[in-house]
């Protein structure tokens, strides 16, 4: 399966790539929402893991766009907390169409299990 | 006939002689005293049957002496004869002193006749004379009258002073006390006069005064004694400053004392200090909150990476040694994660999720769970308000009791008990009773008491400070954030917390949660800033409408959307005519079809000059966005904007 990882933090992308590749997936990366949409249009991914706070394009906007253009796509939103507290963005992300939400720091094994479940159900 | 004991009190030796002579000739046993104070000493040694007293004397005068005699149960039956040199000038006043006979001082023959008559009245028990005897042949003197007026005037000034003024003789006995001073001693004036000042004082002050008196007396050394503002005397629960100034008089001295009740000022200062401390604490927490929100995001990112890599390393590593090292790292990381979570609680922007909560079951649950493995610690939960539900964030308030329980368990350190009492109290009354800064209003008070050794009172001021701990620091014992978090959470609820640790152990944490309203430090918590407010969003992009709608709904607003200016203006007019109105309007400046935001804003402002409108545009650099105020907007948002921007709008305009 193809996984699109959108996060402005390169090390997070490296980590997630590692986890996903070990799970046997193909990984594409983007540093923000705009690039993420671009990548998705080029080489459709089955599942997107996106951060919520990024420059250029907000995660919430990206989620809305993705779900509109690719209704079947699975989305996992990750929030780093920050100004409003860890959980402020996540309910909004879920409302906008994220299938699962994680709050940083999260357990990578849990994330891997979730990806597996979502792809199996799709 | 039994012998008559008579006491003659006069500062004039001549008068003393004349009166004694007459009385002794009549068979009386006569004692003499120079002034009221000496008279009191004579009376204390041997109670006389009859007293002949002058009026105007140094130290305690005849007027005060009469007052003391008439107001002291053992003395009040003494037959009292006033010998007044100013009877003619002060007639009315003389008769008011409660004397049995009043004799004007005059020629010796006349006086001696009246003295004998007075003795006769004593023997036949004719009391309460209503006239002054011996006025014949006397004439009123203007100078005396004026002196008396001046004396009265000074007495009035003294009586009206807020400061207590006392005069002491060389031995430190009180011969004059104004009403403020009498009030400070909390004794009747009759008991204060003649009394030694030192003996009216608490022990420590008594010793200092006695020592000082000895120093002043031998040889006369006129240094004052001061109990200043910083070492006041504690008298009947009042803090009193006292200034004793010796004044030389002939070859001896007397002492003027000024007493001042500074309890009120001290209490005000104490309150001021408390307020400042509280303010400092809040500032400290604010600084932490700022830092917390600043670093939380970055920290969480870093922790994700560290944690993720450690987890993966553990997953791939088959070496037990390496694995156990990694698992130690993982444990520390877990604690770090918890710490960051706690930090974000301080954040001003942390939004409590409020609901109606009953405290008793909530506390019960925490105690039951957290004390489950500790049979040696029992707990008792009692409440006067069984069913009272208040508006709280249950998760946060649960954290409060988790932290308190943890502290209690650590403090008890073995066997003991925890007692929790829930009551409903009036904030104002509670503040008056405890001296704490509790706001006015209706509060639920939770008293959380443990049977541990208590806290050193000297540490109470710091106990809520971040990173302060009485426990040994370290990952296992805690970070010194427990009570800081308790404080932050209670404050977020508009409440108050303080700790009482009485001597002899035990420690009670008092928490106050407002039943309704109260002083709310985070207005969003109770008022629900933005809650129920009406927002109109106009944007031609469906996605933007959806995001804005979700975001404002997150803050509890009711959101209506429009796709262009015409629709927005129509909706605005409709709402206004229904008597309701939108609280906030967001207008996209450029739309593909129909009226844009600039024109819509002009029309809306024409409908309602007070309308609050925010401009939105993908082009933040355009003129209308830069100078939004000139286009009737209160703010301008360049797309894309983060949820923080929405939060800011809610805070500023709703």
pLDDT in tens, B165-194: 998 888 888 988 888 898 888 888 888 888
- The number of residues in chain B equals 654
Length of chain A (residues): 122
**In the block, which residue shows the tokens 């005396």?**
B144
Query: Which pLDDT belongs to residue B243?
Result: 92
Top mean pLDDT of B140-144, B328-332, B344-348 is at: B328-332
User: B392 has which bridge partners?
Assistant: B355
Residue A85 has pLDDT above 60, yes or no: no
State the sign of the Cα–Cα–Cα–Cα dihedral B93, B99, B100, B104: negative
Of B398, B391, B643, B615, nearest to B530 (Cα)?
A: B643
3-state DSSP assignment of residue B271:
helix
Q: What is the crossing angle of helices A59-69 and A33-42, to 10°?
A: 20
For the stretch B269-286, pLDDT in tens is: 888 887 787 777 777 777
Residue B455: per-residue pLDDT: 82
Both tokens of B441, joined, read 């209003």
Alpha-carbon span B485 to B346, nearest angstrom: 7
Q: What is the greatest pairwise CA distance in chain A? A: 36
Identify the CA nearest to B363 among candidates B383, B339, B343, B391. B383
Residue B607, exposed/middle/buried by CB under 10 A (0-12, 13-18, 19+)? Answer: middle
| B301 with A86: Cβ contact below 8 A | no
β-bridge pairing B584-588 and B442-450: unpaired
**How many angstroms separate the CA of residue B401 from the nearest CA in chain A?**
21
Residues on chain B touching A53 (C-beta within 8 angstroms): 297, 642
In the prediction, which pLDDT does B312 show? Answer: 81
Within 8 A of A91 by CB-CB distance, chain B residues are 554
Nearest Cβ partner for B300 among A61, A88, A105: A105
Nearest of B539, B594, B531, B593 to residue B561 by alpha carbon: B539
Classified as helix, coil or strand, B321 is helix
d(CA B55, CA B62): 4
Distance between CA atoms of B222 and B218, rounded to whole angstroms? 10
Task: Check if B153 contacts A (Cβ < 8 Å).
Answer: no
Q: In CATH, what is the architecture of B161-261?
A: 2-Layer Sandwich (3.30)
Cβ-contact B373, B319 below 8 angstroms? no
Question: What average pLDDT does chain B have?
Answer: 82
Contact B72, B187 (CB under 8 A): no
pLDDT digits (tens, 9 = 90+) for B87-135: 777 767 776 777 888 888 878 888 888 888 888 888 888 887 777 777 7
B331 close to A (CB below 8 A): no
Contacts of B350 (CB under 8 A, 6+ apart): A84, A85, B344, B492
Rounded to an integer, the average pLDDT of B252-260 is 89
Q: What residues of B are in contact with residue A108 (Cβ under 8 Å)? A: 307-308, 311-312
**Residue A3: band (very low, low, confident or very high) from pLDDT cuts 50, 70, 90:** very high
Long-range interactions of B159-162: CB distance < 8 A, separation 24+: B162/B260
Top residue of B294, B301, B552 to mutate, by most chain A CBs within 10 Å, is B301
Asked whether the beta carbons of B354 and B393 are under 8 A apart, the reply is yes
Q: List the domains of chain A with CATH numbers.
A: 2-121 (3.40.50.2300)
Give residue B472's pLDDT: 60
Residue of B nearest to A53 (CA): B642
Which region among B176-180, B196-200, B464-468, B557-561 has the lowest average model confidence (pLDDT)?
B464-468
The ipTM of this complex is: 0.73
B507-514 and B496-500: which strand pairing? antiparallel
Coil, helix or strand at residue B390: strand
pLDDT tens for each residue of B282-317: 777 777 766 766 676 677 778 888 888 888 888 778
Interchain CB distance below 8 Å, B303 and A105 = yes
Instruction: Give B447's pLDDT tier (boundaries 50, 70, 90).
Output: very high
Domains B5-141 and B529-653 alike in fold: yes
Within 13 Å and on the Cβ side, how many CA atoms surround B633?
A: 25
pLDDT tens digit sequence for B377-424: 889 988 876 567 788 888 788 889 998 998 888 888 888 899 999 988
- pLDDT above 70 covers a percentage of chain B that reads 90
- pLDDT (mean) for B8-26: 89
**What pLDDT, on a 0 to 100 scale, did the predictor assign at position B524?**
37
Is B492 within 8 Å of B440 (Cβ atoms)?
no
Q: Tokens for B177, please give them.
A: 């006390």
* pTM given for the model: 0.49
Tell me the C-alpha distance between A96 and A78, whole Å: 14
User: Residue B543 is nearest to which of A56, A64, A84, comparing CB atoms?
Assistant: A64
pLDDT recorded at residue A35 = 92
Q: Is the pLDDT of residue B478 over 70?
A: no
Peptide bond before residue A103 is cis, with ω within 30 degrees of 0 = no
For the segment B62-82, the average pLDDT, to the nearest whole number, is: 86
A14 CA: distance to closest CA in chain B (Å): 9
Nearest chain B residue to A7 by CA distance is B301
Strands B534-538 and B584-588: parallel
Q: Does A102 touch chain B (CB under 8 A)?
A: no
Neighbour order of strands in the sheet with A26-30: A26-30, A2-6, A47-51, A74-79, A100-103
Kindly tell me the number of DSSP H helices and DSSP E strands found in chain B. Answer: 22, 24
In contact, B617 and B633? CB cutoff 8 Å: no
Distance between alpha carbon B332 and the CA centroid of its chain, in Å?
44
Specify the pLDDT at position B601: 93
Is residue A26 predicted with pLDDT exceeding 90? yes
What residues of A are in contact with residue B337 (Cβ under 8 Å)?
A: 105
- Whole-number percent of chain A with pLDDT over 90: 48
The answer to whether residues B82 and B101 touch, using CB atoms and an 8 Å cutoff, is yes
Q: Which residues contact B277 (CB under 8 A, 6 or more apart)?
A: B461
Matching residue, tokens 């090292």: B325
Dist. CA A87–CA B412, nearest whole Å: 36
B310 to chain A, any CB pair closer than 8 A? The answer is: no
Q: Using one digit for the tens of pLDDT, what is the confidence trace for B335-357?
A: 777 777 666 666 655 556 667 78
Which is higher by pLDDT, B356 or B571? B571
Which residues, numbered 287 to 306 in chain B, qualify as contacts with chain A under a Cβ-Cβ cut-off of 8 Å? 293, 296-298, 300-301, 303-305
CATH 3.30.565.10 fits B355-524, yes or no: yes
Query: Does residue A29 sit at the B interface (CB-CB below 8 Å)?
Result: no
Pair of tokens at residue B221? 């050394």
Q: Which two tokens stand for residue B463?
A: 């106990």
Q: How far apart are CA B495 and CA B444, in angstroms?
A: 9
Q: Of 3.40.50.1000, 3.40.50.2300, 3.40.718.10, 1.10.150.530, which CATH number belongs to B529-653?
A: 3.40.50.2300
**Measured between CB atoms, does A83 come within 8 Å of chain B?**
yes
What pLDDT is recorded for position B643?
63
The single residue listed with the structure tokens 């169409």 is A97
- Beta partners for residue B254, in sequence order: B247
Tell the residue number behind the tokens 């009221």, with chain if given.
Answer: B36
CATH assignment of B271-346, given 1.10.10, 1.10.150, 1.10.287, 1.10.8? 1.10.287
Which fold does the domain B5-141 belong to in CATH? Answer: Rossmann fold (3.40.50)
Higher pLDDT, B201 or B458: B201
CA separation, residue B12 to residues A5, A40, B21, B286 (Å): 113, 120, 14, 77
Q: How many CB pairs under 8 A join A and B?
A: 106
Alpha helix ranges (H) inside A23-73: 33-42, 59-69
The DSSP call for residue B61 is: -
Q: Which residues of B touch A65 (CB under 8 A)?
A: 543
Cα separation values, A34 from A8, A9, A53, B621, Å: 11, 15, 13, 20
Q: Which residues of A60-77 are buried (b: 16+ CB within 10 A; e: fewer)?
A: bbbbbbbbeebeebbbbb
Give the pLDDT mean for B480-495: 82
| Predicted local distance difference test score (pLDDT) of residue B351 | 54
> Does any CB of chain A come closer than 8 Å to the CB of residue B72?
no
Domain chopping of chain B, boundaries:
5-141, 161-261, 271-346, 355-524, 529-653
Chain A contacts in chain B segment 602-641 (CB below 8 A): 640-641
Percent share of chain B, pLDDT over 90: 13
What is the average pLDDT across B17-40? 88
* Facing residue for B300 by CB, picked from A18, A22, A80: A80
Instruction: Report the distance separating Cα B519 and Cα B497, nearest Å.
Output: 13
Characterize the bridge pairing of strands B225-227 and B233-235. Answer: unpaired
Please state, in angstroms and rounded to a whole number, the distance separating the CA atoms of residues B492 and B408.
Answer: 23
Q: Tell me which range, B144-158, B367-381, B384-398, B431-445, is most confidently predicted by mean pLDDT.
A: B367-381
Query: Which stretch of A100-104, B211-215, B314-318 has the lowest confidence by average pLDDT?
Result: B314-318
Measured CA to CA, the distance from residue B586 to residue B633 in angstroms comes to 9
Q: Give the pLDDT score at B218.
A: 74
Lowest-confidence pick of A27-36, B73-82, B465-474, B544-553: B465-474
What pLDDT, on the 0 to 100 scale, is given for residue B293? Answer: 63
Q: Which of A32, A33, A42, A56 is nearest to A2 (CA)?
A: A42
B547 in contact with A, Cβ within 8 Å: yes
- Measured at the CA of B85, the angle between CA B84 and CA B88, to 5 degrees, comes to 85
């Amino acid at each position: 399966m193809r996984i699109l990882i959108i996060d402005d933090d390169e090390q997070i992308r490296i980590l997630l790539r590692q986890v996903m590749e070990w799970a046997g997936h193909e990984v594409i990366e983007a540093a923000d929402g705009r690039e993420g949409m671009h990548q998705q249009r080029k080489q459709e991914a089955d599942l997107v893991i996106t951060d919520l706070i990024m420059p250029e394009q907000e995660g919430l906007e990206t989620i809305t766009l993705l779900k509109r253009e690719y209704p079947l796509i699975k989305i996992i939103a990750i929030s780093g907390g920050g100004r409003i507290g860890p959980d402020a963005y996540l309910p909004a992300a879920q409302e906008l169409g994220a299938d699962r939400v994680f709050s940083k720091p999260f357990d990578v094994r849990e994330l891997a299990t979730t990806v597996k479940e979502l792809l199996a159900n799709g | 006939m039994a012998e008559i004991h008579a006491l003659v009190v006069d500062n004039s030796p001549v008068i003393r002689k004349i009166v004694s002579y007459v009385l002794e000739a009549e068979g009386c046993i006569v004692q003499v005293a120079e002034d009221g104070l000496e008279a009191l000493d004579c009376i204390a040694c041997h109670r006389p049957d009859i007293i002949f007293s002058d009026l105007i004397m140094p130290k305690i005068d005849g007027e005060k002496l009469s007052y003391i005699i008439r107001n002291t149960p053992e003395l009040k039956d003494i037959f009292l004869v006033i010998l007044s040199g100013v009877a003619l000038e002060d007639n009315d006043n003389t008769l008011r002193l409660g004397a049995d006979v009043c004799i004007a001082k005059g020629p010796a023959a006349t006086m001696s006749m009246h003295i004998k008559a007075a003795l006769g009245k004593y023997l036949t028990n004719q009391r309460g004379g209503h006239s002054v005897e011996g006025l014949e042949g006397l004439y009123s003197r203007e100078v005396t009258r004026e002196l008396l007026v001046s004396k009265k005037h000074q007495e009035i000034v003294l009586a009206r002073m807020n400061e207590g003024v006392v005069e002491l003789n060389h031995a430190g006995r009180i011969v004059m006390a104004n009403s403020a001073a009498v009030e400070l001693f909390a004794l009747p004036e009759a008991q204060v006069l003649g009394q030694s000042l030192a003996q009216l004082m608490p022990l420590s002050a008594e010793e200092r005064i006695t020592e000082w008196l000895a120093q002043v007396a031998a040889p006369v050394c006129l240094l004052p004694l001061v109990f200043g503002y910083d070492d006041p005397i504690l008298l009947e629960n009042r803090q009193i400053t006292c200034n004793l100034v010796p004044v030389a008089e002939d070859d001896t001295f007397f002492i003027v004392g000024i007493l001042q009740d500074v309890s009120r000022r001290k209490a005000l200062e104490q309150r001021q200090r408390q307020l400042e401390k509280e303010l400092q604490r809040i500032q400290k927490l604010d600084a932490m909150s700022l830092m917390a929100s600043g670093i939380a995001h970055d920290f969480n990112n870093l922790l994700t990476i560290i944690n993720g890599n450690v987890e993966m390393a553990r997953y791939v590593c088959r070496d037990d040694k390496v694995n156990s090292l990694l698992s130690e790292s993982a444990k520390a990381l877990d604690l770090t994660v918890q710490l960051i979570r706690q930090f974000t609680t301080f954040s001003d922007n942390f939004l409590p999720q409020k609901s109606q909560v009953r405290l008793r079951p909530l506390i019960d649950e925490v105690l039951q769970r957290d004390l489950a493995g500790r049979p040696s610690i029992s707990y008792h939960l009692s409440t006067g308000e069984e069913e009272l539900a208040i508006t709280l964030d249950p998760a946060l308030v649960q954290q409060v009791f988790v932290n308190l329980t943890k502290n209690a368990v650590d403090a008890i350190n073995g066997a003991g008990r925890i007692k929790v009492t829930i009551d409903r109290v009036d904030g104002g009354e509670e503040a008056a009773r405890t001296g704490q800064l509790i706001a006015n209003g209706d509060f639920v008070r939770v008293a959380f008491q443990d049977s541990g050794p208590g806290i050193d009172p000297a540490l109470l001021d710091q106990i809520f400070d971040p990173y302060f701990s009485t426990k040994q620091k370290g990952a296992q014992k805690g970070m010194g954030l427990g009570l800081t978090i308790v404080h932050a959470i209670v404050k977020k609820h508009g409440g108050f917390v303080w700790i009482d640790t009485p001597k002899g152990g035990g420690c009670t944490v008092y928490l106050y949660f407002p039943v309704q309203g109260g002083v709310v430090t985070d207005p969003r918590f109770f008022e629900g800033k933005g809650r129920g407010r009406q927002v109109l969003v106009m944007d031609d992009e469906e996605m933007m409408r959806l995001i804005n709608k979700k975001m404002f709904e997150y803050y509890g607003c009711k959101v209506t959307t429009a796709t262009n200016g015409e629709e927005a203006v129509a909706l605005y007019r409709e709402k206004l005519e229904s008597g309701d109105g939108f609280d906030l309007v967001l207008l996209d400046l450029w739309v593909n079809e129909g009226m844009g935001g600039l024109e819509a804003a002009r029309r809306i402002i024409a409908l309602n000059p007070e309308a609050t409108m925010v401009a939105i545009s993908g082009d933040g650099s355009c003129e209308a966005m830069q100078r939004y105020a000139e286009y009737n907007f209160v703010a301008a948002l360049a797309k894309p904007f983060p949820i923080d921007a929405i939060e800011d709008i809610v805070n500023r305009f709703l």
